[in-house]
Structure 1
Amino acid sequence: MCRTLATFPTTCLERAKEFKTRLGIFLHKSELGSDSGSFGKFEWGSKHSKDNRSFSEDVLGWRESFDTLLSSKNGVAAFHAFLKTEFSEENLEFWLACEEFKKIRSAAKLASRAHRIFDEFIRSEAPKEVNIDHETRELTRANLQAATAACFDAAQGKTHTLMEKDSYPRFLKSPAYQHLVAQASAAASSASSCSPAEPSHT
């Protein structure tokens, strides 16, 4: 247990623990989707939440901007579950695949992975075909002739914009996220009220 938590009254620690437990249950039974496994990657590990305040701020931070949501492992998991209810999870999965693709340093692996991503998300009738225009699709196809880390940039940008302007606002308004916000706000207030008093120097 970190020192900050060690100084909290036991009742406050119990409230923090209860929030995390309720959040986990909610994520598996949420109206975000019937597939309980969709939240499998949504975990409140110690490296993500050292105390009640940090993990509640993570949830509340998702509404600041779409990029803030994407920068949160938990946020991505929750957003992915929401997209599954709209049958549009392929957009996020493609965006994430592109992010991983950019980290590849081997030219051979880059070319191989580029073709797999194209076949899975870009080509017509692909199993997880993303919603992009014909021009962008053909540009991406041409880029595969000499695959580089940037060959999916145009298509990735299109899906990012689509999610940011379309799916993201609906996610923020969804009952499931609003429920999370309510719980996170309560947890933040609890952490604030339970903060140990400053030691007296008199």
Structure 2
Amino acid sequence: MCRTLAAFPTTCLERAKEFKTRLGIFLHKSELGSDTGSVGKFEWSSKHIKEGRNFSEDVLGWKESFDLLLSSKNGVAAFHAFLKTEFSEENLEFWLACEEFKKLRSATKLASRAHKIFEEFIRSEAPKEVNIDHETRELTRMNLQAATATCFDVAQGKTRTLMEKDSYPRFLKSPAYRDLVAQASAASASLASSSHAEPLHT
């Protein structure tokens, strides 16, 4: 396995550069607002080039399950960029906001943040209103009276299910993602062959 960037085969570096270009299709001008978490833009660095195999596995893993996609920062960024092309990014932004919300430990911060999330995503005619039923909206409103880390669980769960059944399959079928998978597969094969082809040192 290549230990330094200088020792990396030229083909590996070329593949890595292609990765950057392909991922750029998804991530061009894709940036989550500061209020919905700190996902931000995907930033390419030599670290990703040196960890080309891990990145290939990351990209290929996104099609294995929705959980793997959501557990990958690169996957979330790519999925968010895709959702923006469909004007449906509010569902993912709400899910991310809920994930950050559940990490809060201060009761005061929980109450304040809960109302902010409700106003942004849940209430009728909210700026980024998510697609949930009236009963779930009212249940969430009631939960805000005594905000806890679980007060958005039902709404978050329904939003996640909607994304998994609706947006996620379209993401996997999108030309940009399929192209990225082809690049990941090729790069993975290239890295594997270069690893086996390394000369023995005596």
Name the TM-score, length of structure 1 as normaliser.
0.87
Tell me the number of residue pairs that the alignment of Structure 1 and Structure 2 aligns: 193
**Partner amino acid, structure 2, of 1:26:** R
User: Is 2:174 aligned against 1:174?
Assistant: yes
CA distance in 1, matches of 2:46, 2:68: 20
CA contact (8 A) 2:19 2:184 kept: no
Once the two structures are overlaid, the 10-residue window that deviates more, 148-157 or 15-24, is: 15-24
Kindly provide the CA deviation profile for residues 25-79 of structure 1, in whole angstroms up to 9, marking residues without a partner as x: 2333x2x5xx821166223456767522111111000000000000000000000
Match of 1:5 among 2, 7, 17: 2
CA distance in 2, matches of 1:163, 1:143: 23
CA distance in 1, matches of 2:133, 2:47: 40
CA contact (8 A) 2:16 2:49 kept: no
> Could you tell me how far 1:17 is from its partner in structure 2?
2.2
CA contact (8 A) 2:19 2:180 kept: yes
**Partner amino acid, structure 2, of 1:5:** C
Q: What's the counterpart of residue 107 of structure 1?
A: 107
Match of 1:37 among 23, 29, 35: 29
CA contact (8 A) 2:22 2:179 kept: no
CA distance in 1, matches of 2:123, 2:70: 25
Match of 1:15 among 11, 14, 29: 11
Q: Any gaps of 5 or more consecutive residues in structure 1? A: none
The residue correspondences of 1:9-158 to structure 2 (distance < 5 A) are 10=7, 12-28=8-24, 30=25, 32=26, 36-38=28-30, 41-44=41-44, 50-158=50-158
SS at match of 2:29: helix
Q: Any gaps of 5 or more consecutive residues in structure 2? A: 32-39
CA distance in 2, matches of 1:47, 1:108: 39
Q: What's the counterpart of residue 184 of structure 1?
A: 184
Once the two structures are overlaid, the 10-residue window that deviates more, 18-27 or 90-99, is: 18-27
